[in-house]
A and B are shown apart, each in its own frame.
Chain A
Amino acid sequence: MSSLFRKVQWWLQRRRREDDLQEELQFHLAAERDEREAGGLRADDAARAARRDLGNAALVREEARTLWSWMLVEQLAQDVRYGLRGMLKHRMFTALAALSLALGIGANTAIFSFMDAILLRSLPVSDPASLVVVKWRSRPYQNQGPSQFVMRGADGRTYRDASGITAGIFPFPAFELLREASAPVLSSLFAHKSAGSVNVIVRGEAELVRGEFVSGGFFPGLAVVPAAGRPIVADDDRAGAPPVAVLSLGYSQRRFGDPASAVGQPVLINNVPFTVVGVAPAEFFGVDPSAAPQVYLPMRSTNLVAEQLGLLALKLGDRAFTGENYYWAEIMGRLKPGVDLATAETALAAPFARWVATTATNDRERDNLPALRLDEGAAGLDSLRRQYSKPLYVLLTMVGLILAIACANTANLLLARSAARAREMAVRLSLGAGRWRVVRQLLTESVLLATLSGALGIIIAIVGMRVLTQLLANGQEGFTLHAELNWHVLLVTLALSVACGMLFGLAPALQATRPALMPRLRDRSVTESGTRPRLVRVSLTQVLVVAQIATSLVLLVAAGLFVRTLTNLQSISLGFNRDNVLLFEVNAPQAGYPQARVADFYADLRRRLGEVPGVRDVTLSHASLIRAGRSHPIMVDGRPTQGTRVLWTGPQFFTTMQIEIVRGREIVEGDRHGTLPVAVVSDLFARTNLGDGDPIGRHIAIGGSLSIGGAPLVLEVVGVAANARYGGLKGENPPVVYVSYAHLPSTQHRQMTYAMRTESDPLRYVSAVRQIVHAADGRVAITNVKTQAFDIDQTINQEIVFARLCSAFAILALTIACVGLYATMAYAVARRTGEIGLRLALGAGRGAVIWMMLRDVCVLAAVGLAIGGSAALASSRFIESLLFETKPNDPRAVAFAAVILLASALVAGYGPARRASCVDPLTALRHE
C-alpha cells in the first residue's frame, strides 16, 4: 500500500525529481573535477575525465527513472496511444471486430438483465430469504361426474404436470387454521388475493387499475414501511370495518401529486367509498413480479367490491370466508429465526392434513387429499418464472453461442492481423524489446478493443432491452416486467469483455512473439510459401472458422424451427375473418351502473356504435373468440356433454365475425329479455351431441351457476354455425354453444367485448368509439382497444417473439461467421499471392484459381455443417416444448439452414477468390 502511495507521489513529483537528479549528477561531476584538479590535472582535462568517469549520464537517469516506476504507467499510456493509432489506421478491422463483439456482449447483457429481473431478483423487503410461499400438491383428478376432489370451487391458478397438481390457493378457513398452527415456526402468516382490475374513481375520473386484497398481516409480515400514512393492519381487515385502501407510490403520485396528499382522501372503488390511509414505498411491487398492484384493499372488503369482479365470492358472499371447499386465498409467511423450511413444512402439514380430511365428503375425495408444502418465497410468487424461465434460458443459450462466435471471429481477425504484423514484431524484438513487453502491448490492444466493444455493447443492450420489453409486452396493458441495467449485469458484461480481450488477445500475442526472428526478418516470403497450409495441417484459424460455421448452423436450425412454428400457428384456419375488426372492452357494472339496466346500456351502446359511418356491423360477446374460455355444465336430453365451451353473444355476432350459419338463423336483436331463450351451436357441437336429426328446435340445458332456483336454464337451438376457433390457436377446438346474453340472469352481465366490422383500417375508428362510450356514460372506462388480428397475435406472442428474435440472432451469427470466413480467405489469398501468380503464369485459368480458393471454403463449410448438423439434432429436443406441430429434427428446417449457410459461405469466400484470380502474375512473381 505504502509502496503504491510512494509511486503515485513520485509520479506526481516527477518533474522535481528529474531536476533533483540532474543537480545531483552536476554536483557529482563538479566534485570529481575539483578532486582531479587538486590531483594536478588541467581544468578541462579534469572536467573531461570526470565526465568519462560518470559514464552515460542519460543511462543513469533512465535507470533511476525505472526505479521510480512511473515507467510502467508511461509505457501503458504509450501502448494505449499506439493501440488507438493502430485501431484508427485499420478502421475496417476495428469496426468488424468491435461490432461483432459488441453485438455479442449487448445481446448477452440484454437477455441477462431479463434473467436477473425475472429469475434472480429478490423481493424488495427486509430479509426476503426468510419468506415462504404456502402451496399444496395432489394427484391428478377429473372435473367430471361426482366430485373427486375437495376443491369444488376455485379462484386462482392450478398447475398440472405429469405426476400431479400444484396450486397456491386455499380456503379461507384453512388460512385461519394455519395462522394459529404456524405460531411456533413462523413469525407471521398472511394472505392475499389479486382483485384483477378495479374501477377507481378519483374526483369524478374513472380508471381501471390493478388491485390486491391483503390480510391484516400482509404489510407487517413483509415488513414494508409505508412511504406515507399507515399500512393496512389487522383492525382494518374485519367484517364491518370502515373500508380503507393503500395506494402504490406511482399511482398516488399520478392521481394526487404526492403521497402525503393522498392520505385521508376519499376514493370510489367499484363504486364503494374507500379512504386512502397510506402509500406503499416506491420499490415495493407486491409479491408477484408479474402483477404490480396499484391499490391494496383489506381482505374482508372482498364482499364489498367483489360483486362486480366476477370472483366466485360473488355468489358466496360471506361464505367466501367460511366455505371449506372454495379455494382462493394465497398464503405467504415468514420463518422465525433459526427455523428451516423443512421443519416449518412438517409443523404446518400435519394440522392441514387433519383439517382437510374433515372437508372431504366421499371416499374419492378422501383418497386424494391435497398435501401442504412450503416453497422459498424470497423472489415472490413464481408466475413469471413459470411463464418465461424456459424461453429465457433458450435465449440465453443462443446469445451465449453468438458471443462465442463473436469471440472466435475476433480471435480470427487478430490472428490474421498478427500474421500481417509478424515483421513489425520481429523488428521490435530484434531491437531489444522484451517478449513480455511486446505481449503486453498486444494485450493492451486487445483489451482496448474489448473495452470499446463493451461500451458499444452496453448501448446495444439498452436499446435491445427496450425492444425486448416491447416485444414481450406487445401491447398488454399494465405489463409490469421492466428489466433494467443493474450492477450485476454491468459486472457480467465487464467481465465478459475483459475475458474476451484476454482470451483472444493472448493466443495471437504469444504466436506473434514466438522468437523465430531470423527467417521473418530475412525474407517474409520464404516462411510463408514454405509452410503453405494444406487442409491436412489444421490451423487454429481453420478450427475457429469451422466452429463458427457449426454454431451458426445450430442457431439457423433453431430459427427455422421457430419460424415454422409461427407459420403453422398463423396458417391455422380460424373460421372467422380476422381483418378489419376493432375490439374493445367495457365494464358497466364495475363503474357503478345499476345491474338491472346493464343489458339496456350495452344494447344502446351497440346501436350507437352501429351508426358510425363506415361501420358495417357491431356485436358484443363476453370475450373475444380467441380469448374466451368459459365452461358450464351443459346437458342435452338430461345427459351431460363433454368439454363444451360457451360464449355469451349479442345480436349479429355471426354476421360481424363472418362465421357461416349452416342451418337456421343467428341471434338477432329481437332475442331480448323476456322472449324465448335461444342459442346457436357450433357444427361440432351439433354433430357430437344432437345426433343425426335436425338440430333446430332441440333444447339445451345450462346448469351450474346459471341454475335458477335449482332448475337449469333451458335454451332452444335456433341455428348451427360453422366451426370457428375458440380459446386460443393451439389444441383441439371445443364444441361451442353461443348463448344470447340478453337471456342470461343479470348477474352474468359483466365485462363485454365489443367487435366492430369496419370498411377500412379499424384503428381509424378508435377516437369515434371513445367519444361514443364517453357520451353514453362518462363513468365507464374503455380498455384493451385493439384489432382482432392483433388480439390473435397477442395469444401467440411468445412464438412471434421467438421467431423474430431467433431469426435476428441467426442472421447475426451468420453475418459474424461470414465476416470471419471472409477475413480468413482474404488472408489466405494475401499469403498465397506468390503461388497464385506462379500458377497463373504457368497457364492456370482464372476459373481454376477461383475454384481452388472456393474449394477450401467448401471443405471448411462442409466440416462445419457436419458438426453443426449433429449438434443441432442432438440439442433441438430441448426446445421441443416451445414448438407447435413441428418436429425438433424437422428435415426441412435443417436442410434450409444448411443451404443458407453454404450459400453465405460461398458468397463470403467468392470475393477473396475473385481477387485471387485477378492477381497480376508479373507483380506477384516480383513480389516473390
Chain B
Amino acid sequence: MTPPKAPSRVDLLRGTLDLLILRTLLPGPSHGHAIAKHIQRTSEELLQVETGSLYPALYRLEAKGWIAASWELSDKGKRARYYRITQKGRKQLAAEQSKWTAFVRAMGLLLKPADEDAS
C-alpha cells in the first residue's frame, strides 16, 4: 500500500503531525494540500505528509477546536476548505512547542556523546 519512500525521507513521529499542522497555520489560513506541501518543502523534502493521515488529523484538530474550517475560493478560483488556527490552537501550539523543544534538547544531550564518539 505505502509507496516506497526515498531513503532520505524520515517517518513522522507519532503526535508530531498535529504540532506541524498548527505551526503551519500560524501565519495564516491554508487548505489541506498547501499544508502538506508546506511541511514537505520547509523540511527540505525530509518529511513526507501522507494524505491518509493528513485529513484525519485535520478533522481531529477541528473536533478538538484547535483549528476551524470554512469553504473559500483558492487562488486558482476553485472552492477549497481553508483551515485557520483558533485561540485555543495557539495556546496548544505554544505548549506543545515548549514540550518539543525540551524533548529535542534532552535527546540532543543524550545523543551528543555518542555522536562525538563516532566522529
Give me the interface of A with B, judged by CB distance under 8 Å: 6, 20-21, 23-25, 27-28, 30-32, 34-35, 52-56, 59-60, 63-64, 66-68
8 contacts between A and B (CB under 8 A): A21-B55, A24-B32, A24-B55, A27-B78, A28-B33, A31-B31, A53-B3, A54-B52
Chain B 11-36, CB-CB to A under 8 Å as 1, else 0, gives 00000000000000000000111100
Which residue of chain B lies nearest to A32 when distances are taken between CB atoms in the complex?
B33
CA distance A20 to B80 in the complex (A): 10
Given A27-B78, A27-B80, A55-B1, do A6 and B33 touch, yes or no (CB 8 Å)? no
Q: Which residues of B have CB within 8 Å of A59?
A: 52
Least CB distance, A181 to chain B, in whole angstroms: 69
Of B32, B37, B51, B56, the contact of A67 (CB 8 Å cutoff):
B56
CA distance A35 to B38 in the complex (A): 13
Of A30, A63, A67, the contact of B52 (CB 8 Å cutoff):
A63
- Report if B116 contacts A (CB, 8 A): no
Which residue of chain A lies nearest to B56 when distances are taken between CB atoms in the complex?
A63
CA distance A25 to B60 in the complex (A): 16
The reply to whether B63 and A28 contact each other, CB–CB distance below 8 Å, is no
Q: Which residues of B have CB within 8 Å of A60?
A: 51-52, 55-56
The reply to whether A52 and B3 contact each other, CB–CB distance below 8 Å, is yes
- Most chain A C-beta atoms within 10 Å of own C-beta, residue among B31, B63, B76: B63
The reply to whether B78 and A30 contact each other, CB–CB distance below 8 Å, is yes
Least CB distance, A348 to chain B, in whole angstroms: 66
CA distance A25 to B80 in the complex (A): 10
Residues of A contacting B: mostly? helix
Least CB distance, B78 to chain A, in whole angstroms: 6
The reply to whether B51 and A64 contact each other, CB–CB distance below 8 Å, is no
Which residue of chain B lies nearest to A23 when distances are taken between CB atoms in the complex?
B79
The reply to whether B1 and A56 contact each other, CB–CB distance below 8 Å, is yes
Closest 5 CB pairs of A and B: A31-B33, A63-B56, A55-B52, A54-B51, A24-B81
Q: Which residues of A have CB within 8 Å of B81?
A: 20, 23-24, 27
Q: Which residues of B have CB within 8 Å of A32?
A: 33
Least CB distance, A30 to chain B, in whole angstroms: 7
Least CB distance, B86 to chain A, in whole angstroms: 14
The reply to whether A53 and B55 contact each other, CB–CB distance below 8 Å, is no
The reply to whether A55 and B51 contact each other, CB–CB distance below 8 Å, is yes
CA distance A66 to B53 in the complex (A): 13
CA distance A6 to B76 in the complex (A): 33
CA distance A53 to B37 in the complex (A): 12
CA distance A66 to B59 in the complex (A): 10
Least CB distance, A5 to chain B, in whole angstroms: 12
CA distance A21 to B56 in the complex (A): 10
Given A6-B63, A55-B1, A55-B50, do A27 and B55 touch, yes or no (CB 8 Å)? no
Q: Which residues of A have CB within 8 Å of B74?
A: 27, 31
Q: Which residues of A have CB within 8 Å of B37?
A: 35
CA distance A208 to B55 in the complex (A): 82
Least CB distance, B12 to chain A, in whole angstroms: 15
Which residue of chain A lies nearest to B51 when distances are taken between CB atoms in the complex?
A54
Q: Which residues of B have CB within 8 Å of A53?
A: 3, 51
Q: Which residues of B have CB within 8 Å of A27?
A: 31-33, 74, 78-81
CA distance A913 to B43 in the complex (A): 76
- Most chain B C-beta atoms within 10 Å of own C-beta, residue among A6, A23, A28, A64: A28
A52-B3, A60-B56, A67-B60 given; name 11 further pairs at CB < 8 Å: A6-B63, A23-B81, A27-B79, A31-B80, A32-B33, A34-B76, A35-B37, A54-B52, A55-B2, A55-B52, A63-B56
The reply to whether B55 and A25 contact each other, CB–CB distance below 8 Å, is yes
Q: Which residues of B have CB within 8 Å of A21?
A: 55
Given A55-B51, A63-B52, A64-B56, do A28 and B78 touch, yes or no (CB 8 Å)? no
Least CB distance, B40 to chain A, in whole angstroms: 11
Q: Which residues of A have CB within 8 Å of B59?
A: 64, 67-68
CA distance A539 to B52 in the complex (A): 49
Which residue of chain B lies nearest to A52 when distances are taken between CB atoms in the complex?
B3
Q: Which residues of B have CB within 8 Å of A54?
A: 51-52
Least CB distance, A57 to chain B, in whole angstroms: 8
Q: Which residues of B have CB within 8 Å of A35?
A: 37
CA distance A67 to B37 in the complex (A): 24
Which residue of chain A lies nearest to B33 when distances are taken between CB atoms in the complex?
A31
CA distance A30 to B80 in the complex (A): 11
CA distance A54 to B37 in the complex (A): 13
Chain B 60-74, CB-CB to A under 8 Å as 1, else 0, gives 100100000000001
CA distance A55 to B51 in the complex (A): 7
The reply to whether A56 and B33 contact each other, CB–CB distance below 8 Å, is no
CA distance A24 to B52 in the complex (A): 13
CA distance A21 to B62 in the complex (A): 13
CA distance A24 to B80 in the complex (A): 7
CA distance A28 to B3 in the complex (A): 18
Least CB distance, B47 to chain A, in whole angstroms: 15
CA distance A66 to B63 in the complex (A): 12
CA distance A30 to B51 in the complex (A): 13
CA distance A31 to B81 in the complex (A): 12
CA distance A28 to B31 in the complex (A): 9
Least CB distance, A29 to chain B, in whole angstroms: 9
CA distance A613 to B86 in the complex (A): 101
The reply to whether A28 and B52 contact each other, CB–CB distance below 8 Å, is no
Q: Which residues of B have CB within 8 Å of A68?
A: 59, 63
Least CB distance, A55 to chain B, in whole angstroms: 5
Least CB distance, B31 to chain A, in whole angstroms: 7
B80-104 CB contacts (< 8 Å) to partner A: 80-81
Least CB distance, A252 to chain B, in whole angstroms: 63
Which residue of chain B lies nearest to A49 when distances are taken between CB atoms in the complex?
B3
Q: Which residues of A have CB within 8 Å of B31?
A: 24, 27, 31
CA distance A66 to B57 in the complex (A): 12
CA distance A53 to B51 in the complex (A): 7
The reply to whether A64 and B52 contact each other, CB–CB distance below 8 Å, is no
Q: Which residues of A have CB within 8 Å of B56?
A: 60, 63-64, 66-67
CA distance A545 to B26 in the complex (A): 68
Which residue of chain A lies nearest to B32 when distances are taken between CB atoms in the complex?
A28
Q: Which residues of A have CB within 8 Å of B79?
A: 23, 27
Q: Which residues of B have CB within 8 Å of A56?
A: 1, 52
Least CB distance, B60 to chain A, in whole angstroms: 5
Least CB distance, A846 to chain B, in whole angstroms: 60
Q: Which residues of B have CB within 8 Å of A66?
A: 56
Q: Which residues of A have CB within 8 Å of B51?
A: 25, 28, 53-55, 60
Least CB distance, A71 to chain B, in whole angstroms: 13
Q: Which residues of B have CB within 8 Å of A6?
A: 63
Least CB distance, A265 to chain B, in whole angstroms: 70
Which residue of chain B lies nearest to A55 when distances are taken between CB atoms in the complex?
B52
Which residue of chain A lies nearest to B62 when distances are taken between CB atoms in the complex?
A67
CA distance A66 to B60 in the complex (A): 10
The reply to whether B1 and A67 contact each other, CB–CB distance below 8 Å, is no
Q: Which residues of B have CB within 8 Å of A31?
A: 31, 33-34, 74, 80
Q: Which residues of A have CB within 8 Å of B1?
A: 55-56
CA distance A257 to B61 in the complex (A): 68
Least CB distance, A190 to chain B, in whole angstroms: 64
Least CB distance, A523 to chain B, in whole angstroms: 34
Q: Which residues of B have CB within 8 Å of A67?
A: 56, 59-60, 63
CA distance A68 to B59 in the complex (A): 8
The reply to whether A64 and B3 contact each other, CB–CB distance below 8 Å, is no
Which residue of chain B lies nearest to A34 when distances are taken between CB atoms in the complex?
B76
Least CB distance, A309 to chain B, in whole angstroms: 78
Least CB distance, B57 to chain A, in whole angstroms: 9
CA distance A738 to B50 in the complex (A): 108
Least CB distance, B10 to chain A, in whole angstroms: 18
CA distance A67 to B63 in the complex (A): 8
Least CB distance, B41 to chain A, in whole angstroms: 11
CA distance A87 to B34 in the complex (A): 52
Which residue of chain B lies nearest to A27 when distances are taken between CB atoms in the complex?
B80
CA distance A28 to B30 in the complex (A): 12
Which residue of chain A lies nearest to B52 when distances are taken between CB atoms in the complex?
A55
CA distance A54 to B32 in the complex (A): 12
- Most chain A C-beta atoms within 10 Å of own C-beta, residue among B59, B76, B81: B59
Least CB distance, A267 to chain B, in whole angstroms: 73
Q: Which residues of A have CB within 8 Å of B2?
A: 55
